[in-house]
């Protein structure tokens, strides 16, 4: 109990003033938690404001076209979150009459809501005594109790959940959950935490055993795949370009991008010309130029993309060519290309 009271006392004195902390509205809590998965607060905050302005209620979000939802999400990444968000909003709005389930177990049945998000909504909004376990919680508990369990292992969640369940306050469990997550985000940070100014340092076993820098243990077993993407930036006499919609699969499914050539190795100009000569533009293209300044690397969770852009001049007007695409949802590399080159918007 000392741990719980110390950490909630710290929270009252040090917590950030974030908009979703000033409400018990489950729609706002849910929205913020989905947005902050794999995302820093500073990055997610503008998106939170944009979504709550565009869609003040869960029903507004449910009624919106998916294309608009994806466009507002553009740049936040992990687009499956946005699709699940939209589908779950529709279920809540049209099947549950706009009301979120109040129990942890019922929340888990909704698409895109896992153990952490269900626990957050249940405790923050409905005072359900369910502990949250995220990266911050793993780190705080692993250090304070000197736990050397690999947090990437199959049994880690169950072990840390059980410990957090012993520590959580009976009254106001949401406060405890907020406090331990904030403590991990601001005080017990991943690298070089200021242990001398930590209110829990006297009881921290990692500090006593000089293991702060090695806990929590996480042994990565995922190999990063490297891929080569070659985007074709067509430009016709009207300075229009061509965007195509990706198929209904993959991390960027249904987003719009330039025509893409995937290669196993670094592509040469001959590869691009060979592709053009087999395409519908075989008699129309005039020149091929590699835009060296636009080469970028883009890191996804388990993939590293090496991306080149090739400018191809077309002698006649492109079918379905676009001079602007402000309403279309685009993958981050396409947005970066536009920002870097200012040739298309």
Give the end-to-end CA distance of the chain in Å, rounded to a whole number.
57
| Last-in-domain residue among 214, 238, 273 | 214
Bridge partners, residue 225, by sequence: 303
State whether 37 and 112 are in the same domain.
Answer: yes
d(CA 219, CA 296): 29
Q: What is the pLDDT of residue 210?
A: 94
Q: Is residue 71 part of a domain?
A: yes
State whether 331 and 272 are in the same domain.
Answer: yes
Q: What is the pLDDT of residue 345?
A: 45
State whether 7 and 61 are in the same domain.
Answer: yes
State whether 147 and 286 are in the same domain.
Answer: no
State whether 197 and 229 are in the same domain.
Answer: no
Count up the domains in the chain and report the number: 2
3-state secondary structure the chain: CHHHHHHHHHHHHHCCCCHHHCCCCHHHHHHHHHHCCCCCHHHHHHHHHHHHHHCCCHHHHHHCCHHHHHHHHCCCCCCHHHHHHHHHHHHHHHCCCCCCCCCHHHHCCCCCCCHHHHHHHHHHHHCCCCCCCCHHHHHHHHHHCCCCCECCCCCHHHHHHHHHHHHCCCCCHHHHHHHHHHHHHHCCCCCCCCHHHCCCHHHCHHHHCCCHHHCCECCCCCCCEEEEEEEEEEECCCCCECCEECCCCCCCCCCEECCEEEECCCCCHHHHHHHHHCCCCCCCEEEEEECHHHCEEEECCCEEEEEEEEEEEECCCCCCCECCCCCCCCCHHHHHHHHHHCCCC
| Last-in-domain residue among 214, 237, 253 | 214
Q: Is residue 72 part of a domain?
A: yes
Q: What is the pLDDT of residue 300?
A: 81
Q: How many CB atoms neighbour CB 9 within 10 A?
A: 12
State whether 210 and 230 are in the same domain.
Answer: no
State whether 6 and 78 are in the same domain.
Answer: yes
Q: Is residue 105 part of a domain?
A: yes
Q: Is residue 301 part of a domain?
A: yes
The maximal CA–CA distance of the chain, rounded, in angstroms, is: 76
Q: What is the pLDDT of residue 237?
A: 82
CATH at residue 25: 1.10.340.30
Beta strands 303-314; 225-235: pairing state: parallel
Q: Is residue 220 part of a domain?
A: no
Q: What is the pLDDT of residue 240?
A: 83
State whether 192 and 235 are in the same domain.
Answer: no
Q: Is residue 219 part of a domain?
A: no
Q: Is residue 45 part of a domain?
A: yes
d(CA 196, CA 148): 22
| Last-in-domain residue among 164, 180, 214 | 214
State whether 74 and 172 are in the same domain.
Answer: yes
Q: Is residue 170 part of a domain?
A: yes
Nearest Cα neighbor of 291 from 336, 233, 236, 334 is: 233
CATH at residue 288: 3.90.79.10
State whether 114 and 260 are in the same domain.
Answer: no
Q: How many CB atoms neighbour CB 204 within 10 A?
A: 20
State whether 207 and 235 are in the same domain.
Answer: no
Catalytic annotation present for 66: no
Distant-in-sequence, close-in-space partners of 145: CB < 8 Å, separation ≥ 6: 163, 205
Q: What is the pLDDT of residue 320?
A: 65
State whether 156 and 10 are in the same domain.
Answer: yes
Q: What is the pLDDT of residue 322?
A: 62
User: Which residues of the chain are under the pLDDT cut of 70?
Assistant: 1, 319-326, 341-345
Q: Which domain holds residue 99?
A: 2-214
């Amino acid at each position: 109990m000392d741990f719980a009271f110390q950490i909630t006392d710290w929270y009252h004195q040090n917590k950030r003033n974030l908009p979703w902390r000033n409400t018990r509205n489950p729609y706002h809590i849910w929205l913020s938690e989905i947005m902050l998965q794999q995302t820093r607060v500073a990055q997610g905050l503008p998106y939170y404001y944009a979504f709550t302005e565009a869609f003040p209620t869960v029903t507004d979000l449910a009624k919106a076209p998916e294309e608009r939802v994806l466009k507002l999400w553009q740049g936040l990444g992990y687009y499956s979150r946005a699709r699940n968000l939209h589908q779950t909003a529709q279920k809540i709005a049209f099947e549950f009459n706009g009301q979120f389930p109040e129990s942890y177990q019922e929340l888990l049945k909704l698409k895109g809501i896992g153990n952490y998000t269900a626990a957050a909504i249940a405790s923050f909004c409905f005072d359900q005594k369910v502990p949250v376990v995220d990266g911050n919680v793993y780190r705080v508990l692993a250090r304070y109790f000197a736990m050397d369990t690999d947090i990437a292992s199959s049994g880690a969640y169950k072990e840390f959940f059980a410990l957090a369940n012993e520590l959580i306050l009976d009254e106001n469990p949401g406060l405890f959950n907020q406090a331990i997550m904030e403590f991990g985000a601001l005080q017990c940070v991943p690298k070089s935490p200021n242990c001398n100014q930590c209110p829990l340092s006297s009881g921290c076993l990692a500090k006593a055993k000089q293991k702060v820098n090695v806990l929590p243990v996480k042994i990565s077993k995922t190999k990063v795949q490297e891929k080569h993407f070659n985007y074709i930036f067509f430009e016709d006499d009207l300075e229009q370009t061509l965007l195509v919609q990706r198929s209904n699969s993959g991390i960027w499914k249904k987003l719009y991008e330039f025509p893409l050539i995937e290669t196993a190795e670094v592509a040469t100009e001959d590869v691009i010309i060979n592709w053009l000569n087999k395409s519908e533009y075989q008699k129309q293209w005039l020149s091929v130029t590699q835009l060296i300044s636009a080469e970028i690397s883009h890191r996804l969770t388990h993939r590293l993309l090496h991306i080149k852009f090739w400018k191809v001049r077309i002698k006649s007007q492109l079918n379905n060519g676009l001079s602007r695409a402000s309403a279309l949802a685009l993958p981050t590399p396409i947005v970066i290309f536009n920002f870097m080159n200012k040739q298309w918007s």
